């Protein structure tokens, strides 16, 4: 007879099975975005609700509680993957069990209705339609925070879901200096009077050509199509069902090269992370991405730091010219570089450039934190948004669809999510700076079409560890320094200096 498996082994089996169940849900989510007949939407809601309930039962089961207690007992070594798995599984168990079922149901119900109200409000540019729902969402988030009872402020309870272990105070300590420096840099860019038009990347860019070009780029950066795929959808995303099944999706605009191409590269960065997770740790915390901030650092790194570099296009411009001979015939490398990196305040976050994007995030972080603490009343959000926006970016939205109604997050109950976008930019720049030091002349490698050394380095340093180290410890281990806005600022200052003088 086989020996009785240890508590740790039984814990692993439990976690793995929960992950298998969740991966079924994620396939259904992917299918909803790609191929679901529209008449099947109701059935799909029932399917995902059922799988979510079954997964929640497993995540909060007394059996898991007992396994965790036994495994903690039997796990003395600190810092091992094993200790990290037990530590993080315990953290997730507590999170899952602390929120009462009534709040979970309230969240499901409220976000479904709030989403509808938000869509309506945005279409009609009437904040009033969304206001009562926003109030309820904020109250729900407060109730959840009370149940989770974090040591610090209520906001931390939500932040912890997306960026485990982070606190609002820490985030503020990084975002504050970043905000001031970026606002100053933006003023200098605007004062230069120089404009970098995106005309070179507007024109005739047929979707099939964009798909082929993006596919070549994904292959070059090391996305493994035997363990993943790409499809066309209404919104770009990366669906990860474990390292063996990673599905990217893109949307291409036949008149504009940028959105689809960089959207795909962005999702490709997420995809490399998912494919690089340790398959032996599937379903364990050590086989799960560290945090949203670290995840976003990987997408932003490939999108902005690699994909918008001169070296990258030194290699890919000929291939792009082959696909789009008319549109790109007279475009010089300089004009292309400018078109891809122009800085210009705009109202919509998802269209923002690499610099102003972070100012959008700083504003949302301040506002949602104030909403949760009660310093800002939901009624006053539009005014606060517009004032803050004008202060940071120098322009004022004419209506709320260009302002506080533009993003889906709050209607979906996602409070504490926004800062992970800028954490991603910041971690990405810091990690990339280190990669440049360790890997030699990366620009020369990119210009030769060699991207795999960078991918392999990232796998070694980040992907394969999963949640073994909290995000800020991971960054410190890789770079020798705690997370800092300095590398991102240096990168942006250099790029602006080069482009705007």
Q: CA-based angle 297:268:471, to the nearest 5?
A: 25
20 is a contact residue toward a copy of itself (CB under 8 A): yes
For position 412 contacting a copy of itself by CB under 8 A, the verdict is no
Q: Which is nearer to a copy of itself, 281 or 366 (CB)?
A: 281
Shortest distance in whole angstroms from residue 23 CB to a copy of itself: 6
CA distance 420 to 407: 15
Residue for token pair 């959808």? 233
**Rounded distance, CA 21 to CA 12, Å?**
14
Are 484 and 434 contacting, i.e. CB atoms less than 8 angstroms apart? no
Q: Which is closer to a copy of itself, CB of 44 or CB of 72?
A: 44
Could you tell me which stretch among 47-55, 148-156, 365-373, 477-485 binds a copy of itself (CB under 8 A)? 47-55
Does residue 37 bind a copy of itself (CB under 8 A)? yes
Q: What single-letter DSSP state applies at residue 418? A: T
Q: By CB under 8 A, is residue 28 in contact with a copy of itself? A: yes
Candidate residues 1, 2, 4, 39; the one interacting with a copy of itself per rule CB under 8 A: 39
Footprint (CB under 8 A) of a copy of itself, residues 234-293: 241-242, 244-246, 282
DSSP secondary structure of 463-475: GGGTTSS-HHHHH
Q: Please report whether residue 46 would count as binding a copy of itself according to CB under 8 A.
A: yes
Which of 20/104 has CB closer to a copy of itself? 20
The correct pick among 6, 13, 43, 440 for binding a copy of itself (CB under 8 A) is 43
Rounded Cα gap, residues 45 and 297, in angstroms = 32
Nearer to a copy of itself, 20 or 476 (CB): 20
For residue 167, is it left (φ>0), alpha (ψ between -120 and 50) or beta?
beta
Q: Length of the chain, please?
A: 501
Can you say whether the dihedral through the CA atoms of 416, 422, 425, 430 is positive or negative? negative
- Least distance in angstroms from the C-beta of 39 to a copy of itself: 4
Asked whether position 38 contacts a copy of itself by CB under 8 A, the answer is yes
Residues annotated as catalytic are 267
From the CB of residue 109, how many other CB atoms can be counted at a distance below 10 Å?
Answer: 11
Looking at 8, 10, 31, 119, which residue binds a copy of itself (CB under 8 A)?
31
Q: What is the layout of strands, in order, in the sheet containing 246-250?
A: 228-232, 246-250, 237-240
Pick the closer one to a copy of itself by CB: 28 or 370. Answer: 28
Contact mark string toward a copy of itself, 48..77, x via CB under 8 A: --xx--x-----------------------
Q: What is the DSSP string of 74-119?
A: T---SSSHHHHHHHHHHHHHHHHHHS-HHHHHHHHHHHHHHHHHHH
Q: Using CB under 8 A, list all residues that contact a copy of itself.
A: 17, 20-21, 23-24, 27-28, 31, 35-40, 42-44, 46-47, 50-51, 54, 224-229, 231, 241-242, 244-246, 282
């Amino acid at each position: 007879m086989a020996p009785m498996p240890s508590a740790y082994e039984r814990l692993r089996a439990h976690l793995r099975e929960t992950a298998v169940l969740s991966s079924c849900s994620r396939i259904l989510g992917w299918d909803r975005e790609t191929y679901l007949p529209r008449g099947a939407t109701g059935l799909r809601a029932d399917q995902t609700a059922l799988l979510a309930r079954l997964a929640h039962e497993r995540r909060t089961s007394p059996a898991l509680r007992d396994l965790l207690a036994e495994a903690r007992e039997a796990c003395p070594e600190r810092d091992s993957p094993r200790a990290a798995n037990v530590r993080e599984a315990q953290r997730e168990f507590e999170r899952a069990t602390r929120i009462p079922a009534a709040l979970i149901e309230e969240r499901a119900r409220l976000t479904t209705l709030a989403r509808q109200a938000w869509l309506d409000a945005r279409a009609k540019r009437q904040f009033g339609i969304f206001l009562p729902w926003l109030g309820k969402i904020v109250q729900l988030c407060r109730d959840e925070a009370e149940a989770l009872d974090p040591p610090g402020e209520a906001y931390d309870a939500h932040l912890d879901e997306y960026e485990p272990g982070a606190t609002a105070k820490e985030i503020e300590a990084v975002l504050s200096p970043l905000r001031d420096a970026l606002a100053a840099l933006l003023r200098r860019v605007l004062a230069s009077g120089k404009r970098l038009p995106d005309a070179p990347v507007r024109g005739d860019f047929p979707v099939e050509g964009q798909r082929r070009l993006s596919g070549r780029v994904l292959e070059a950066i090391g996305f493994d199509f035997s363990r993943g795929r790409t499809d066309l959808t209404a919104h770009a995303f990366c669906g990860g069902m474990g390292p063996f099944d990673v599905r990217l999706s893109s949307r291409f605009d036949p008149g504009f090269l940028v959105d689809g191409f960089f959207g795909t590269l962005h999702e490709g960065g997420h995809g490399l992370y998912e494919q690089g997770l340790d398959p032996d740790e599937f379903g364990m915390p050590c086989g799960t991405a560290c945090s949203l901030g670290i995840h976003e650092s990987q997408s932003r790194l490939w999108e902005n730091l690699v994909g918008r570099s001169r070296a990258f296009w030194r290699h890919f411009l000929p291939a792009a010219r082959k696909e789009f001979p008319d549109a790109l015939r007279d475009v010089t490398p300089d004009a292309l570089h400018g078109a891809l990196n122009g800085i210009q305040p705009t109202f919509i976050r998802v269209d923002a450039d690499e610099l102003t994007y972070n100012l959008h995030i700083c504003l949302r972080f301040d506002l949602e934190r104030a909403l949760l603490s009660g310093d800002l009343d939901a009624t006053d959000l539009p005014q606060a948004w517009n004032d803050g926006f004008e202060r940071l970016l120098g322009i004022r939205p004419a209506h709320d669809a260009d302002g506080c109604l533009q993003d889906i997050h709050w209607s979906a109950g996602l409070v504490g999510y926004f800062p992970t976008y800028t954490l991603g930019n910041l971690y990405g720049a810091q990690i990339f700076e280190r990669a440049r030091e360790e890997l030699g002349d990366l620009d020369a490698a990119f210009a030769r079409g060699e991207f795999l050394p960078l991918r392999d380095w990232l796998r070694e340093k980040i992907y394969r560890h999963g949640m073994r180290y909290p995000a800020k410890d991971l960054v410190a281990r890789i770079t020798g320094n705690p997370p800092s806005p300095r590398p991102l600022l240096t990168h942006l200052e250099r790029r602006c200096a080069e482009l705007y003088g």
